[in-house]
Structure 1
Amino acid sequence: MRHITLLALLLLGSPIVAADSAVSFRSDIAPILLEHCLACHGAKKAEGGYRVDNYDELLKPGDSGELPIGKTKDEPSELLRRLTCDESERMPAESEPLTAEQITRFKQWIESGAVFDGEASHTPLDLVIPSRTYADPPQSYRHAIPITATAFSPDGTQIVAAGYHELTIWDPTQKKLVRRIKNVGQRVLALAFTPDGKTLAVGCGEPGKSGEVRLLDFASGEIKNVIARTTDVVLDVAFRPHSDELAVASADSMIRIYNTQSLEEIRVIASHADWVTAVAWSDDGNRLASASRDKSVKVYDGTTAELLATYLGHGAAVRGVAFLADGKQVISSGGDNKLHRWNIEGAKKVAEIGFGGEAFKLIRGDNFVLVPCADKRLLRIDLGNNTIAQEFKGHTDWVISAALKPTEAEPQVVSGSLNGEVRLWKLADGVLLQAWIAKP
């Protein structure tokens, strides 16, 4: 008789979820809410006064006063009704309805008690969902990919480069691929080591779909934790000096601050109107700066997140930002092909340096800053006299990333370009040491 019932369900086209297969909030319900509901029912925007950004909020009535989830199996659940009603009230609004299988999952979860199976019911959806295991990257690439992020290993002997769902680790003396760290997001756009060099924060994601920071043990390549999961790609990360705090900039226009030991989300800054492309801390960690595609640069109190200054002098998307050593001035760069130097007090510009193309993330050194440019150059700007002191030439495509070697014995800089080339230079005189296409 059971086989006849299953066959009838198949013929009717009904989705089948085994009765003894428990529906998990973390694995089954939260991902649907995150993808289809959060944009209109989150903390920042709550249509109808209803939020779904965590389990606790999901249970609270919106402006209608109707219980989203009935307290008993027989009590009506407004959430389920809105998922299945006609188009005038159906959710999600102005988009495709949930599939029959997704609705069945919701129905079974509610009928089984709408249980929360995570650790803390107030945890945001992006942290409740089990972290994803990505498919392995291709054994060899058919084409080189843009080097959107690069870094020196803490001992300065290796170079880390962004790959496709991976990081590629190179011995620059032989231009040799020595290992690959897999299981990271599709695109890697930011890299930052903890002060002890043991943990690497990898800002990554798939544009328009997902973003996250993976904290990995650099020696073993093991993924230790995943934080800052969101609905769009992570564009930058920066560790607060003398702290375990990490600032995360995302294309969802948010800045998130996390404690990388406790994994606690300390605060969210929602001050920009578009992608947050870069973040930087002052040397003492007391202030945080952010750059955005909304054409603004902002400075906040590092502890309270109080907005201290907004600079609007670029008139174009801003891609890079850094504090000067005294913490009183900021430098920023972007789509207007200029480096701006300005005082935090009053947000007034004091100098500007023009380039031949759009500028990207800034790398500040001792009284200088490195600027990757779309005019195929990496520039060294002398902050003592606000002039271009050095040009690293030779790339045949946009230079989009760079990093300084952390050791002082032989100062070096690495640059990565849009066509997949990595170049290693002497910092002192700009002599090219090595160049290769970072393609497995």
Structure 2
Amino acid sequence: MRGSRPDGARFQRVANPFGARFITTILLLGCAITSQSFAAPGTPVTALAFSPDGESVVASAHKSIVVRAVKDGKVHRSIGCEFPRVSSLAFDRDGSLLAVAGGTPGERGSMTLLDWKSSKVLARLDGFDDLVTSVAFSPDNARVAVASADHSAKVARLEGRSLKAGFALAGHSGPVLGVAFSTDGTMIVTASGDRTVRVWDGRDGKLLRTFSHHTATVHAVAFRPPAPAGAAGVAAFCATASDDKTVRVWQPDIGRMVRIIRGHEGPVHSLAWSPDGARLFTAGSDGMVRAFDGGSDQRLQEWRASDDWIYSVAVHAKADTMATGDWSGSVRLWSILEGAAKRVW
């Protein structure tokens, strides 16, 4: 999920859902620090991320991302972008870089690399004919993978703070909606509107295998984090979320579907693992958040998180807090232990 993202057709439910937003920005190579932001409700929150230090939560908005303090919800800053939809956010390993992906549906897509501390634009990856839907850093910070609704996915090399040409992941026949690196960086997995999940060699982009088990659009993919230091080793598992109302867990290195997780009453749009891999959180169009045991299909918790579709979820590094973003534009912080909202904005 990389963090998960709806395809263009899904957003045709309403005309111009981003119309009620007014941003005053100082443009700088496509992204900017916002001098003042006046936000009307109704902008779908399609991307969320906690900063690695756990102090901030970043949420997508119309032509911008908003950074708030986890402890009190106060806005620290807004960072504007020239494209109207922000669809994916990802921090690098040490938290110094933030990748912002998005674009204009049906027209173009882009990924912007920002210095997290200063909000300065460092690099951009363009050349997409539709929305960039998902972005992910490799564990060694040497590569950045992006997926696009134009049916393509690309991997760029990250040298210092510059992006260099890498390789393409070619073969999907529908929008590519999710991308993720395995925890050792040897594999990349993509999720697509063509109903497939594809596994690629993380070093050269060679297609290793294709899973065709889902029966509808696959929105998101996320690898289970490695076992804590000192714990027994865990195989490389990833989970995918789909419009077919299921979450499926895979062992991509050997081509095995491990389990099917059911329970949602509608499309599942987003998922996230707890940092220790002990829990898998899922959310979708039924407005429910469900927590499953990381090693089985046992449902541990569930709660109603919204009266609308949930498009994005993220879990705090301490695994005590999670964030959800929905169609109406609301972001909620939750106590995982209690399943209760701590903050709403």
The TM-score with structure 1 as length reference comes to: 0.65
**8 Å CA contact retained: 1:189, 1:203:** yes
Task: Give 1:252's match in structure 2, choosing from 124, 137, 150.
Answer: 150
- Which residue number corresponds to residue 284 of structure 2? 373
Q: Report deviation, 1:380.
A: 1.4
d(CA) in 1 for partners of 2:98 and 2:143?
A: 13
Question: For 1:302 and 1:223, how far apart are their aligned partners in 2?
Answer: 26
Q: Which residue in the other structure is 1:271 paired with?
A: 171
Residue 132 of structure 1: how far off its partner (Å): 4.4
Given that residues 134 and 165 in structure 1 are in contact (C-alpha distance below 8 angstroms), is that contact kept between their aligned partners in structure 2? no
Moved more, 172-181 or 211-220: 172-181
AA at the equivalent of 1:429: E
Aligned match of 2:45: 147
CA distance in 2, matches of 1:219, 1:202: 14
* Residue 415 in structure 1 maps to residue 313 in structure 2: no
Give matches, 1:330-409, under 5 Å. 330-344=238-252, 347-354=255-262, 355-365=264-274, 366-406=277-317, 408=318
Letter in 2 for 1:260: L
Q: Could you tell me how far 1:295 is from its partner in structure 2?
A: 0.4
Counterpart CA distance in 1 for 2:53 and 2:182 is 24
Q: 1:296 to 1:306 in 2, by over 3 A?
A: same
Match of 2:115 among 197, 202, 217: 217
Percent identity over paired residues = 30
Higher relative contact order (CA 8 A, sep 6+): 2
CA RMSD of aligned residues (A): 2.3
User: Secondary structure of the equivalent of 1:159?
Assistant: strand
After superposition, the Cα gap between the structure-2 partners of 1:322 and 1:394, relative to the gap in structure 1 and judged at 3 Å, is closer
Match of residue 291, structure 1, among 165, 180, 191: 191
Residues 407-434 of structure 1: CA distance to partner in whole angstroms, max 9, x if unpaired?
x3x6211111111111111223323211
1-structure distance, mates of 2:34, 2:107: 19
Distance 1:218 1:329, change over 3 A: closer
Instruction: Provide the C-alpha distance between the structure 2 equivalents of 1:358 and 1:432, rounded to a whole number of angstroms.
Output: 23
**How do residues 167-206 of structure 1 correspond to structure 2 at under 5 angstroms?**
167-206=65-104
Asked if 1:431 corresponds to 2:340, the answer is yes
Instruction: Tell me by how many angstroms 1:391 deviates.
Output: 1.4
Alpha-carbon deviation of 1:356?
1.3
Structure 1 residues 133 and 177: alpha-carbon distance in aligned structure 2, compared to 1, 3 A threshold = closer
Higher mean alpha-carbon deviation, 418-427 vs 285-294, is at: 418-427
Distance, in Å, in 1 between the alignment partners of 2:95 and 2:176 is 26
The number of residue pairs the alignment matches comes to 305
More strand by share: 2
Q: Compared with structure 1, are the counterparts of its residues 330 and 183 closer, same or farther at alpha carbon in structure 2 (3 Å cutoff)?
A: closer
Unaligned 5+ segments in structure 2 are 1-27, 227-233
Partner amino acid, structure 2, of 1:232: D
1:394 Cα shift?
A: 3.4
Does the Cα contact within 8 Å between 1:137 and 1:165 map onto a contact in 2? no
Q: 1:222 to 1:256 in 2, by over 3 A?
A: same
Instruction: Tell me how far apart the structure 2 counterparts of residues 136 and 264 of structure 1 sit (CA, whole Å).
Output: 28
Contact 2:33–2:77 (Cα < 8 Å) also in 1: no
Matched, 1:321 2:221: yes
Q: Is the 8 A contact 2:169 2:200 kept in 1?
A: no
More helix by share: 1
Q: Distance in 1 between matches of 2:177 and 2:256?
A: 22
Distance 1:322 1:158, change over 3 A: closer
Aligned residue identity for 2:324: S
Distance change (3 Å), C-alpha of 1:359 and 1:397 = same
Q: Which residue of 1 aligns with 2:63?
A: 165
Judging changes above 3 Å, is the alpha-carbon distance between structure 1 residues 171 and 144 closer, same or farther for their aligned structure 2 residues?
A: farther
Selected match of 1:236 from 126, 134, 137: 134
Larger radius of gyration: 1
- CA deviation string 1:258-312 (max 9, x = no partner): 1233411210111101111001111111111000000000111111222222111
Partners of 1:134 and 1:185 within 8 A in 2: no
Q: What are structure 1's unaligned runs of at least 5 residues?
A: 1-129
Q: Is the 8 A contact 2:133 2:149 kept in 1?
A: yes
